[in-house]
Amino acid sequence: MPELPEVETLCRQLQQIVINTRIEKTCILDSKLTIPDCLEGQSIVFVNRRGKNLVLGLNNGKRLEIHLRMTGRLLWQQEGEKPPHSRFIMNLSSGRVIVVDPRRFATLSLVADKDQEDQLVVDALSPGCGEILREKGIKRMRPVKSFLMDQQIIGGIGNIYACEILYQAGLAPIRKTASLSPDDWMLVEKATAAILSKAIECRGTSISDWRDLFGHKGEYQNELRVYGREGKNCLRCGEIIKRVRFLGRGTWFCPNCQI
């Protein structure tokens, strides 16, 4: 599932090629998607990211928001056949952007620029997010892993990076947020910044179907230190890494050095 580094990768790649280009034609290939006709004729004036959403700003002041959900991805093409599971095509003057999504959970929506009611959610890459998280978590008896993955609290972190962040911070996924000290939150902030930045540099994690805008695999799967490593030795203390199912998601951790 694309998380912050994957969406940020698409965002940066799109910024290089679609800014100030005109949407000439759109084509919906999936009846689940409804996109107003008014995209055609608009130019893309900016591309940015809000949590795990990709935001394309149009010159009429509206924004096209794309949420890739489980298996969605974007592909840039200048020629060739559209790939299997293509759901939406946006033809630009210089090429086309295709939404490819085998499981069909991705969503596209057109929103007015002022509709930013959840703008106040802190982004996982924001400096100082540790202090904001501490304030939000201090009174909650909530497992820190689900807290970090809650998009109403902090934008961008999903299962893979939550496991990696908590491993690096030395915190057990089930630790209640109210029990974390200010130093613990600092460690969470540092680990979040380091891991997400490195993952963006690597263009995301391709353990299943993730590909970047040009169809290339990311490389952060080679950097994972705990995710997917059950039965192997902890790289920090040598203990055996465990995998448990926690709140419906596979969760990897070291029972010795994550406390």
- The yes-or-no answer on residue 24 being catalytic is no
Strands 86-92 and 73-77: unpaired
- The yes-or-no answer on residue 2 being catalytic is yes
- Marked catalytic residue, from 5, 6, 8, 52: 52
Torsion from C-alpha of 188, 152, 13, 198, nearest 10 degrees: 10
**15: nearest Cα among 51, 56, 69:** 56
Task: State which residue, 100 or 241, has the beta carbon closest to Zn ion.
Answer: 241
> What DSSP line would sit under 51-93, residue for residue?
TTEEEEEETTSEEEEEE-TTT-EEEEESSSPPPTTEEEEEEET
Query: Residue 117's CB: how many other CB atoms inside 10 A?
Result: 7
Q: Which two tokens stand for residue 193?
A: 């910044």
Tell me, by CB under 5 A, how many residues bind Zn ion: 7
Q: Which two tokens stand for residue 52?
A: 């795990």
Taking CB under 5 A as the binding criterion, the range among 10-18, 126-134, 163-171, 229-237 that sits at the site for Zn ion is: 229-237
Taking CB under 5 A as the binding criterion, the range among 100-108, 116-124, 159-167, 249-257 that sits at the site for Zn ion is: 249-257
- State the nearest-atom distance from the C-beta of 246 to Zn ion, in Å: 18
* Burial of residue 182, with CB atoms counted within 10 A of its CB: 0-12 exposed, 13-18 middle, 19 or more buried: exposed
234 lies in the binding site for Zn ion (CB under 5 A): yes
Measure the CA–CA gap between 105 and 71, rounded to whole angstroms. Answer: 7
236 lies in the binding site for Zn ion (CB under 5 A): yes
- The yes-or-no answer on residue 52 being catalytic is yes
- State the nearest-atom distance from the C-beta of 171 to Zn ion, in Å: 12
- State the nearest-atom distance from the C-beta of 129 to Zn ion, in Å: 25
256 lies in the binding site for Zn ion (CB under 5 A): yes
- State the nearest-atom distance from the C-beta of 219 to Zn ion, in Å: 24
- State the nearest-atom distance from the C-beta of 169 to Zn ion, in Å: 12
Phi, psi of 74, deg, nearest 5: -115, 145
Taking CB under 5 A as the binding criterion, the range among 18-26, 32-40, 139-147, 230-238 that sits at the site for Zn ion is: 230-238
241 lies in the binding site for Zn ion (CB under 5 A): no
Q: Which residues are catalytic?
A: 2-3, 52, 249
Which parts of this chain interact with Zn ion (CB under 5 A)? 234, 236-237, 239, 254, 256-257
